[in-house]
Amino acid sequence: MMRSLDIAGTGMQAQTTNVETISHNIANMTTTGYKRRRAEFQDLIYQDLRRVGTMSSDTGDLVPAGAQVGLGVRTAGIYRINEQGTLEQTSNALDLAIEGRGYFRVTLPSGEYAYTRDGTFSLSDDGTIVTADGYPLSPDISLPNNAENITVDQTGQVQYTVSGTTTAQVAGQIQLITFQNENGLAAMGQNLFEATTSSGDPITGTPQSTGFGSIRQGFVEESNVNVVTEITDLITAQRAYEMNSKVITASDEMLQTLTNLK
């Protein structure tokens, strides 16, 4: 069989992965805190038809370039582009955006931790600050049922007043989490990530301290998907897929020519 059939097949598979990644980005263009993905590819191993550096004569002359045939392409990884998304003002007291590095840490029903950039928080029935799915912030921060004028400053300190008083009381301190390798986090869905061996251990710190972002109350971080870029990349991937399919068609026609020889 001609190598070009297999090579073009790997090219079509790679562009299918590329289109799937782009479509996932476009689907999440309005998802709070979403970070766009980018597929990266690597060439496959090569077959030596004439090995470079071998002797071409008894006098010791060396082959200067050789002849290698590549065997196609494979997906090397799908990376998150962790650039800051635009902050959208909501004026909701429990909408919190991270400006800079860091993740909110939440506690899952299993007791394990997950990490998110989605700061659309609410109060549970007992006054605990929770995510849209009811997962509490870690460490837990609770407010009394008569709390008013809830404020969160840029360092993550949560304060409130109660009816009839003007003195602010501290409910708790929001902590941020960073990782040595953010791309090593494993996506869980629901805007959540879990730590892995590749991400490194979580590093805990106070917002606005060295290496950590700050908290913006009344804002949420929008997705960092650029629709124009995604559509351009989609067209490029589609054309690359078509060209690989034409290689398969051309190879098939060449094989038909061989089989029709008399």
What would the two tokens of residue 117 be? 């950039």
Nearest CA among 91, 114, 81, 13 for reference residue 223: 81
104/162 same-domain check: yes
> Which amino acid makes up residue 97?
A
Q: 94 and 122 in contact (C-beta within 8 Å)?
A: yes
Give the closest residue to 141 by CA, choosing from 98, 96, 110, 182. Answer: 96
Structure tokens at 65: 């370039």
Residue pair 95/153 in contact by the 8 Å Cβ criterion:
no
| Domain around 30 | 3-41+73-82+225-259
Q: What is the pTM of this model?
A: 0.87
Tokens representing 141 are 């921060």
- Domain identity same for 151 and 229: no
Looking at the structure, tell me whether residues 215 and 124 fall in a common domain.
Answer: yes
pLDDT tens, N- to C-terminus, the chain (262 residues): 578 899 999 999 999 999 999 999 999 999 999 999 999 999 998 887 777 767 666 666 676 777 778 899 999 999 999 999 999 999 999 999 999 999 999 999 999 999 999 999 999 999 999 999 999 999 999 999 989 999 999 999 999 999 888 899 999 999 999 999 999 999 999 999 999 999 999 999 999 999 999 999 999 999 999 999 999 999 999 999 999 999 999 988 888 888 887 6
- Does residue 240 share a domain with residue 153? no
Report the chain's C-alpha Rg in angstroms: 27
For residue 60, being part of any structural domain is answered with no
C-beta separation of 212 from 176 below 8 A: yes
